[in-house]
Amino acid sequence: MESLRERKKQRTREALLRTALELFTTEGYERTTVDDIAEAVDVSQRTFFRYFAGKEEAALALMEVTVAHFLQSVRERPPHEAPMEALRQAVLEGWDTLNDVIEAIAPVELYLRMCRVVESTPALLAAHLRRSAEVEETLAAVLAEREGVDLDTDPRPRLAVAVFGGVMRLTERQWSVGEDFSLDAMRALTVSYLEQVGPALSESWRTH
């Protein structure tokens, strides 16, 4: 059983996050000041920074949840799957179960809108890409362990993850600029792109 203190803290954090996301998606990230958020929640600006390391962290909080969810999916993949297949299955399975995970925090619709904001806000996109790079490193370690190879001497884990990450980021981006913001559309794009990686690297694209 949680203490009153814990619950209060939790409520403050949720209020801050929800308000922040709401403002970011309606007013825009840059046009929303931390003071705006704090004022709307009726706490001091200082308190905001006690819950979030910065404005960015609040904006990317939902992405962080999906990342954790995806990483978990990868770790749970049966060890007999080949590396790329495990990653592929993990994302696909991830999209299936993501709905519930997100909904526990905020409406999925808010998540989708926030994705677009991230993609269209330079500062947020930069932070997101940096975070993605960190995730790739983690992922490489997971693959290395799965396959029993040494991360320091064998470049294949990092290579596979770099390729995979590149394709996934392209997927994210294309999805966010498209018109269908459903998770289904995301899954369709994922499958389509992953299937086309091989052909795209082939000798020539010209259909002479």
Taking the complex as a whole, the smallest distance from the CB of residue 131 to its own copies amounts, in Å, to 9
Residues 67 and 86: their CA atoms lie apart, in Å, by 16
Among 20, 24, 56, 98, binds DNA (CB under 7 A): 56
From 34-42, 81-89, 93-101, 139-147, give the range in contact with DNA by CB under 7 A. 34-42
In sequence order, what DSSP letters do the residues of 75-121 get, joined into one string?
A: HTS-TTS-HHHHHHHHHHHHHHHHHHHHHTTS-HHHHHHHHHHHHH-
Q: Which residues bind its own copies (CB under 8 A)?
A: 82-84, 122, 125-127, 129-130, 132-133, 147-149, 154-156, 158-160, 162-167, 169-170, 174, 192-193, 196-197, 199-206
Q: Does 5 bind DNA (CB under 7 A)?
A: yes
Cβ nearer to its own copies, comparing 68 with 82: 82
Distance of CA 184 to the CA centre of its chain: 16
Taking the complex as a whole, the smallest distance from the CB of residue 127 to DNA amounts, in Å, to 9
Length of the chain: 208
Among 40, 43, 71, 141, binds DNA (CB under 7 A): 43
Vertex 51: Cα angle to 50 and 57 (nearest 5): 115
